């Protein structure tokens, strides 16, 4: 095994036992990035010199027998929507080109304090708006399982970095499935915590009531360990929850014989790919074999989740993105007639077509005379969807369903049809509307194309431990392989 192929838990143990040096691992990762990332485009920027400096500090601590932090030397890739002090943060948008934050997001401070090393910023759909990673202003990230296909979005760069061994772990954000969908398409573990479990301070907002930082890793244990670090209350985030954080790594290793699982019938109806359906149903049978009690449940208002999600998301995007105007940071078009003309020209040049579409639709939904008809009604539907989950969780502990109705699709296949593209998130976005935690884990591969298929596990608010325990048991006993690796054609 190459050092860049290590899982997080393996890496930390080997560093502590002095079997490897952090500098050696960092060098191996950057050699691998230099070799393959020109093919995959996972990274927008890398931090080699800074990473090597941090690696040498950790190696000195190991050599001198100092107490090591929990993620000592761990190489982590970070989605380019999370602010990193001294490292360019663009949200894959031209309007933020050249923006270097003067501070770290809370989640970055947490992983740095735990000893992790930022190795680079990963590509994404611009401002998190997309399901395919084709909406980046700079490049299209390619799926390592088939470079003619998308990696999923919007955290596609982070998922590809992990799947292709260009990082040992990565951070992403999930507004409507943007961690879980790329995890499904790229065959890795994607964990989206409960809204409020992880601080959003320093995460550039797309839709504030939906956004949540999550992890992308090669194993469930790795996800649990990362969750131990990134979760917790933050006074800088008014939506942060004052709830104790359990030891997810320890709790995920119990059995699941006392858990009840619901299978929502609405997730297995029209529109679900036959191979995805077969693989997910087989995975559910395997969870039953481990002692889980399975029963069918209903989430009757799920059919309204898609329009409700996009109305709310676009309305909040319209408000959040108003601050990008060329005045204080980022792009500015100086050839203009007056202030209003500068705003128009800067925003026209700086935003991509999907971002402009969502800003315009969101502004319309919030405008006088339409607020009640669109935005307010969408919020009422959101309440109905949350009530559906609340009713189901009175009877069961966890929900099992597909992450996506389809495997990874071909580049260009849906980009000109926004409505078809939006349907890709149909199984993930209800989780964000209800503020619940969810995880995607690979459960099989398509027969002809060898594309990953994701099983989604959804839990009650702040019960990530049960999700991780189920995923850990499934991975340990039945995973289609122990992190099967794509054969990248370089």
Is the confidence at residue 480, as pLDDT, over 80? no
Least confident of 69-73, 311-315, 366-370, 457-461: 366-370
Going by pLDDT thresholds of 50, 70 and 90, the confidence category of residue 483 is low
Q: Is 118 helix (H, G, I), strand (E, B) or coil?
A: strand
Residues 6+ apart with CB under 8 A from 425: 131, 176, 177, 181, 306, 309
Is the confidence at residue 481, as pLDDT, over 60? no
pTM of the model: 0.96
Q: Which two tokens stand for residue 95?
A: 């309007």
- pLDDT for position 488: 72
Least confident of 214-223, 413-422, 463-472, 481-490: 481-490
Going by pLDDT thresholds of 50, 70 and 90, the confidence category of residue 335 is confident
Rounded to whole angstroms, the Cα distance separating 368 from 380 reads 19
Determine contact, residues 178/97, Cβ cutoff 8 Å. Answer: no
- pLDDT for position 403: 98
- pLDDT for position 363: 95
Structural domains of the chain, ranges and CATH numbers in brackets: 3-266+277-298+399-478 (3.90.1300.10), 302-387 (no CATH)
Q: Comparing C-alpha atoms, which of 249, 246, 205 is closest to residue 462?
A: 246
Rounded to whole angstroms, the Cα distance separating 408 from 221 reads 25
Residues classed as catalytic: 79, 154, 178
Is the confidence at residue 253, as pLDDT, over 90? no
Q: Which two tokens stand for residue 282?
A: 């087989």
pLDDT tens-digit map of 144-189: 999 999 999 999 999 999 999 999 999 999 999 999 999 999 999 9
- The beta strands (E) that lie in 73-168 are given as 75-79, 117-122
Q: Comparing C-alpha atoms, which of 273, 232, 227 is closest to residue 70?
A: 227
């Amino acid at each position: 095994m190459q050092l860049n192929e290590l899982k997080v838990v393996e890496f930390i143990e080997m560093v502590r036992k002095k079997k490897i040096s952090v500098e050696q691992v960092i060098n191996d990762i950057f050699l691998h990035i230099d070799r393959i990332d020109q093919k995959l485009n996972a990274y927008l920027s890398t931090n080699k010199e800074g990473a090597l400096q941090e690696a040498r500090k950790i190696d000195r601590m190991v050599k001198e027998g100092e107490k090591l932090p929990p993620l000592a030397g761990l190489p982590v890739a970070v989605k380019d929507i999370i602010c990193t002090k001294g490292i360019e943060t663009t949200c894959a948008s031209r309007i933020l080109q050249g923006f270097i934050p003067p501070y770290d997001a809370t989640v970055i401070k947490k992983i740095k304090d735990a000893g992790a090393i930022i190795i680079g910023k990963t590509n994404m759909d611009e401002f998190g708006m997309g399901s395919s990673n084709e909406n980046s202003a700079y490049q299209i990230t390619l799926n390592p399982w088939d470079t003619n296909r998308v990696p999923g979005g919007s955290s596609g760069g982070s998922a590809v970095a992990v799947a292709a061994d260009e990082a040992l772990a990565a951070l992403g954000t999930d507004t409507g499935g943007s961690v879980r969908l790329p995890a499904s398409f790229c065959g890795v573990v994607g964990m989206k915590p409960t809204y409020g479990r992880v601080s959003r301070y320093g995460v550039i907002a797309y839709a504030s009531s939906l956004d949540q930082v999550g992890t992308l890793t090669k194993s469930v244990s790795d996800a649990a360990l990362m969750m131990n670090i990134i979760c917790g209350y933050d006074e800088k985030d008014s939506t942060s929850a004052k709830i104790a954080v359990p030891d997810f790594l320890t709790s995920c290793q119990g059995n699941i014989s006392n858990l009840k699982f619901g299978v929502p019938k609405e997730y297995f109806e029209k529109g679900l790919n036959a191979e995805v359906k077969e693989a997910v149903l087989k995975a559910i049978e395997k969870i039953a074999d481990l002692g889980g009690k399975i029963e069918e449940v209903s989430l009757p208002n799920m059919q309204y989740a898609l329009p409700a999600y996009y109305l709310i998301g676009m309305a909040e995007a319209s408000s959040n993105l108003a601050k990008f105007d060329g005045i204080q940071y980022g792009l500015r078009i100086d050839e203009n007639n007056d202030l209003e003309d500068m705003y128009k020209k800067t925003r026209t040049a700086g935003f991509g077509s999907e971002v402009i579409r969502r800003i315009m639709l969101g502004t319309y939904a919030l405008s006088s005379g339409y607020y009640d008809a669109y935005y307010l009604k969408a919020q009422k539907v959101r309440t109905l969807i949350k009530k559906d989950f609340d009713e189901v969780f009175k009877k069961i502990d966890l929900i099992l369903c597909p992450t996506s109705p389809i495997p990874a699709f071909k580049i260009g296949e849906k980009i000109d049809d926004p409505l078809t593209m939006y349907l890709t998130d149909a199984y993930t976005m209800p989780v964000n509307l209800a503020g619940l935690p969810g995880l995607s884990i690979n459960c099989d591969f398509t027969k002809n194309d060898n594309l990953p298929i994701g099983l989604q596990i959804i839990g009650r608010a702040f019960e990530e431990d049960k999700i991780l325990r189920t995923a850990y048991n499934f991975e340990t006993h039945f995973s289609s392989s122990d992190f099967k690796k794509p054969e990248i054609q370089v």
